[in-house]
């Protein structure tokens, strides 16, 4: 079995309009080797390229309010949360799910990802508010493959290194025998995106092996299983930045859910890039 090591290099927080190519090459210079795997966070790229939405401008529908007011508090807060093995703190947060903020978030999920994604308890269709300021959320990249190719070519030209770039998201992929399923849209080839909330609940209920999800690969031909191994190593090494969820982020800074500022986020070291290397 191939063994790997991971190297994380803390960086500043990537804000909207950030020159992510310069940030990546500055971070990797003198550290990256030929044949390394460079795993880049989709969230960081989404923020840097302004693939974000301010949910204060979203008007919630009746359906979104039902999902936020009933489905999240009663269904996720009790039966589904228990089936999925959630801890007491998360169950409490779901049972006290904020109606106004939550309704706007669910409306955005309905519009961008559909019902089965909106029924998720978080990261609906790849829409995520953790590590973002105020009421902003990031949208999933629709062209992750192009980003991976652009970054891989830029590193080769600027640093002279032949590496493999993987764009990854923390949303989970579940393994069933030799096939892979994720509730998250648009994973890399070889991973099946089906079912939304159904895939998530079944994966948690049957305690299937899960890993963070590779979205695109450039530089080397990797199978889904190989890419999942590498992104999971990178995910464990990276950590959760300012918080794994919007609740954790707000608690870290001791403010309410819509009061985390860009300055607060900038006070925390982030790790949007992880180098994963095969051990000799």
The pLDDT of residue 239 is 84
pLDDT at 53 over 80: yes
pTM: 0.95
| CB atoms closer than 10 angstroms to residue 190 | 16
pLDDT of residue 242: 84
pLDDT digits (tens, 9 = 90+) for 129-146: 999 999 999 999 999 999
Which residue(s) pair with 172 in the sheet? Answer: 212
C-alpha to C-alpha distances, 203 to 151, 182, 199, nearest whole angstrom = 32, 9, 6
CATH class of 4-51+143-278: alpha beta
* Environment class of 17 (CB within 10 Å of its CB; exposed 0-12, middle 13-18, buried 19+): exposed
Quote the CA–CA distance of 124 and 127 in Å, as a whole number.
5
What pLDDT digit, counting tens, does each position of 89-100 carry? 999 999 999 999
175-227: per-residue pLDDT in tens? 999 999 999 999 999 999 999 999 999 999 999 999 999 999 999 999 999 99
Taking the domains of the chain in order of start, what are their residue ranges?
4-51+143-278, 53-138
Contact (CB, 8 A) for 231 and 175: no
The candidate with the shortest Cα–Cα distance to 247, out of 97, 120, 76, 42, is 97
CA 214/CA 171 separation, integer angstroms: 9
Q: How far apart are CA 4 and CA 227, in angstroms?
A: 12
Q: Is the pLDDT of residue 1 over 80?
A: no
Q: If you write DSSP's letter for every residue of 107-174 in order, what string do you get?
A: HHHHHHH-HHHHTSSSSGGG-B-TT--TTEEEPPPS-HHHHHHHHHHHHHHHH----EEEEEEEEEEE
Q: Examine the pLDDT at 58 and tell me if it is beyond 80.
A: yes
Share of the chain above pLDDT 70, in %: 100
Torsion of CA 65, 66, 70, 75, to 10 degrees: -120
- DSSP 8-class letter at 11: B
3-state secondary structure 31-84: CCCCCCEEEEEHHHHHHHCCCEEEHHHCCCCHHHHHHHHHHHHHHHHHHHHHHC
Pairing of strands 37-41, 164-176: parallel
- Cα angle 8, 245, 207; round to 5: 85
Strands 179-182 and 192-193: parallel
Angle at 245 between CA 207 and CA 182, to 5 degrees: 40
């Amino acid at each position: 079995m191939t063994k790997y090591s991971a190297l994380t290099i803390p960086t500043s927080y990537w804000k909207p309009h950030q020159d992510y190519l310069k940030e990546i090459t500055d971070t990797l210079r003198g550290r990256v080797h030929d044949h390394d795997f460079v795993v880049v966070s989709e969230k960081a790229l989404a923020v840097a390229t302004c693939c974000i939405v301010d949910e204060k401008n979203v008007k919630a529908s009746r359906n979104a309010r039902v999902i936020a007011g009933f489905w999240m508090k009663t269904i996720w807060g009790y039966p589904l949360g228990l089936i999925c093995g959630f801890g007491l703190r998360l169950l409490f947060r779901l049972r006290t799910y904020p109606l106004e903020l939550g309704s706007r978030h669910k409306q955005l999920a309905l519009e961008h990802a559909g019902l089965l994604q909106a029924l998720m308890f978080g990261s609906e269709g790849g829409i995520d508010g953790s590590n973002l300021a105020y009421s902003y959320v990031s949208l999933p990249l629709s062209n992750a493959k192009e980003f991976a190719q652009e970054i891989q070519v830029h590193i080769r030209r600027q640093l002279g290194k032949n590496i493999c770039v993987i764009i990854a998201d923390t949303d989970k992929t579940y393994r069933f025998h030799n096939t892979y399923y994720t509730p998250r849209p648009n994973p890399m080839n070889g991973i099946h995106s089906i079912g939304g909330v159904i895939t998530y609940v079944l994966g948690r209920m049957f305690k299937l092996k899960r890993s963070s999800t590779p979205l695109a690969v450039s530089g080397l031909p990797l199978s889904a299983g190989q890419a999942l191994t590498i992104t999971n190593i990178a995910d464990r090494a990276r950590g959760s930045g300012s918080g794994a969820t919007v609740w954790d982020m707000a608690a870290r800074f001791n403010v309410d859910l819509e009061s985390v500022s860009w300055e607060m986020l900038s006070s925390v070291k982030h790790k949007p890039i992880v180098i994963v290397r095969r051990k000799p």
